Amino acid sequence: MNTPRKFRIKSPCSTANIGPGFDVLGISLSLYLTMDVEILKEGKVFEMTYSGEGAKDVPLTPEHNLITKTALYVLSANGISQLPQPLRIHVDNPIPLGRGLGSSGAAVVGGVLLGNALGQLNLSRDRLLDYCLMIERHPDNVAAALMGGFVASYLRELDPSAMKGVPASESLLDIALSQQVPQPPIGIGHYVNLGWAKEIKCIAIVPQFEVATAKARAVLPTSYERKDVVFNFQRLAVLTTALSQSPPDPELIYNAMQDKIHQPYRKTLIPGLPEVLSNITYQKYDGLLGICLSGAGPTILALATKNFDKIAEAAIALFKQHGDFECIYKVLDVVTDGSTCVDL
C-alpha cells in the first residue's frame, strides 16, 4: 500500500528566442502552472481536476493529458508501469495555451517533476532536463522553466547509437506508454544562466487566438542564407550581455533584438506582426528597450523599464488596425527559482 503523501509542483511560463536567439534563449516569467498532488490511502483510482486556461479543452485522462503522459513516460523509463493509486491531481493553469508563453514547456517540466516525485526517483535537476528534452526538442522553454532566470541552452549532438529512442520531433509521447521506454541519454542539453538587469520587466501582449508551435515551426525554411545567419549571430552575442547591464542601453538592446531567422516567416500567421514590431520603437516610447515575438507567437514580448501600460496599449491599438481579435497584456517579472516540488 502507498504511504499517503501530498505535494505541490510549480512551473513558470517562459518566453523564448528574445528576437535573434531562436531555439537558444529563454526567460522564465512570473506566471505559474501549479499542481497539487495527493497520493491517498483510499478513494478513486485516479482523479484529475483542472482550473484556468484550457479548462474546457484539456483532456484529463492519464494517457491523454500532456502532464500525466509525461509523468508516465518518466516512470516507464524507470521501470514503473503505472501511476500510484489512488491519486488525486488538481492543476491550476494561468498560462494561456498556444500563445508563445511556453504553456507546453511548463506542462512538460511539471510532468517530469511529477514522474520524479511519484516514482521517488530523486533525479538531479540536470537529469530532469534530459527527460524534458526527450519531449520538447527545442531546449529554450524547458531549460528556462526548469532552471529559472535568463537561460541560454543547446542540444548536444549525439552519435547515432545514442540517438536510439530519441525522437526526431516532438512525438515521443505518441508511443505506447504501456511498453517500457529507454532512459534518455545523459547530458542531452547544456545550459548557462545569463545575467539580467533587475530593472527590466517583460510585457507580454497576448492576442486572443492560438498559434500551435508545431505550425509556426512548419512555416520556417529548412536552410538560410549566410547573411541572415550572421545577422542573428552578431545580435545574439551582443544581446546576452546587453541585457545584464545596468542601466540598460535602449539603442543597443533594440537593435540586438532584431531577427531574420524566424519572425519574418511567421508574419503570415499573425496579422499585424510586422507593423507592431516596426512601429513600437525605443525612440517613440521612453523606457522601451526592445520588442519581438514571444516564442512562436502570437504573443509579443516588449522589454521595458517604465511606461509598461503605454507600450502595451500602443501595441494593442496597432493589432486592432490589422485584425479582428482581442488582446490582453501582462507585465511580468523574470523569476529565478525555476520549477519546484514541495511537500505539503
Ligand X SMILES: N[C@@H](CCOP(=O)(O)O)C(=O)O
State the residues that interact with ligand ADP by CB under 6 A.
33, 54, 58, 65-67, 91, 93, 97-105, 107, 212-213, 295-296
**Quick one: 100 or 111, whose CB is closer to ligand X?**
100
Q: Residue 86, preceding bond cis, omega within 30 degrees? A: yes
**Quick one: 58 or 301, whose CB is closer to ligand ADP?**
58
* Contact set for ligand X, span 128-147 (CB under 6 A): 138, 140-141
Beta strands in 17-144 (DSSP E): 25-39, 46-52, 87-93
The distance of closest approach from Cβ of residue 301 to ligand ADP in the complex, given in angstroms and rounded to an integer, is 12
Q: Tell me which of ligand X, ligand ADP, none is bound by residue 22, counting a contact when its beta carbon lies within the kind-specific cut-off of 5 to 8 angstroms.
A: ligand X
> By the 8 A CB rule, do 277 and 263 touch?
yes
Q: Tell me which of ligand ADP, ligand X, none is bound by residue 12, counting a contact when its beta carbon lies within the kind-specific cut-off of 5 to 8 angstroms.
A: none
Q: How many other C-beta atoms lie within 10 A of the C-beta of residue 8?
A: 14
HSE (side-chain half, CA atoms, 13 Å) at 13: 27
**Quick one: 83 or 140, whose CB is closer to ligand X?**
140
Which one among 12, 23, 151, 329 touches ligand X, defined by CB under 6 A?
A: 23
The answer to the question of residue 217 lying near ligand X (CB under 6 A) is yes
Whole-angstrom distance, CA of residue 107 vs CA of residue 12: 9
The closest residue (CB) to ligand X is: 295
Q: Tell me which of ligand X, ligand ADP, none is bound by residue 93, counting a contact when its beta carbon lies within the kind-specific cut-off of 5 to 8 angstroms.
A: ligand ADP
Q: Tell me which of ligand X, ligand ADP, none is bound by residue 217, counting a contact when its beta carbon lies within the kind-specific cut-off of 5 to 8 angstroms.
A: ligand X
**Quick one: 163 or 212, whose CB is closer to ligand X?**
212
Stretch that binds ligand X, among 15-23, 49-57, 201-209, 245-253 (CB under 6 A): 15-23
The distance of closest approach from Cβ of residue 316 to ligand X in the complex, given in angstroms and rounded to an integer, is 20
Whole-angstrom distance, CA of residue 217 vs CA of residue 284: 32
Residue with cell 499517503: 4
Which backbone phi and psi does 240 adopt, to 5 degrees? Answer: -60, -35
The answer to the question of residue 339 lying near ligand X (CB under 6 A) is no
The distance of closest approach from Cβ of residue 245 to ligand ADP in the complex, given in angstroms and rounded to an integer, is 29
HSE (side-chain half, CA atoms, 13 Å) at 295: 35
**Quick one: 102 or 207, whose CB is closer to ligand X?**
102
DSSP per-residue letters across 240-285: HHHTTSSS--HHHHHHHT--SSSHHHHGGGSTTHHHHHHHS-TTTS
The distance of closest approach from Cβ of residue 230 to ligand ADP in the complex, given in angstroms and rounded to an integer, is 28
> By the 8 A CB rule, do 184 and 134 touch?
yes
Residue with cell 541552452: 153
**Quick one: 217 or 310, whose CB is closer to ligand ADP?**
217
> By the 8 A CB rule, do 247 and 199 touch?
yes
Q: Tell me which of ligand ADP, ligand X, none is bound by residue 66, counting a contact when its beta carbon lies within the kind-specific cut-off of 5 to 8 angstroms.
A: ligand ADP
Which one among 262, 270, 282, 312 touches ligand X, defined by CB under 6 A?
A: 262
Whole-angstrom distance, CA of residue 275 vs CA of residue 130: 39
**Quick one: 5 or 267, whose CB is closer to ligand X?**
267
> By the 8 A CB rule, do 103 and 97 touch?
yes
The distance of closest approach from Cβ of residue 249 to ligand X in the complex, given in angstroms and rounded to an integer, is 25
- Which residue pairs, CB below 8 angstroms and at least 24 apart, start in 53-60? 53/93, 53/94, 53/95, 53/96, 53/97, 53/103, 54/93, 54/97, 54/103, 55/93, 57/97, 58/91, 58/93, 58/97
Residues 88-117, mask of contacts with ligand X (x by CB under 6 A): ------------xxx-x-------------
Give me the residues that bind ligand X (CB under 6 A), please: 16-17, 22-23, 100-102, 104, 138, 140-141, 213, 216-217, 262, 295-296
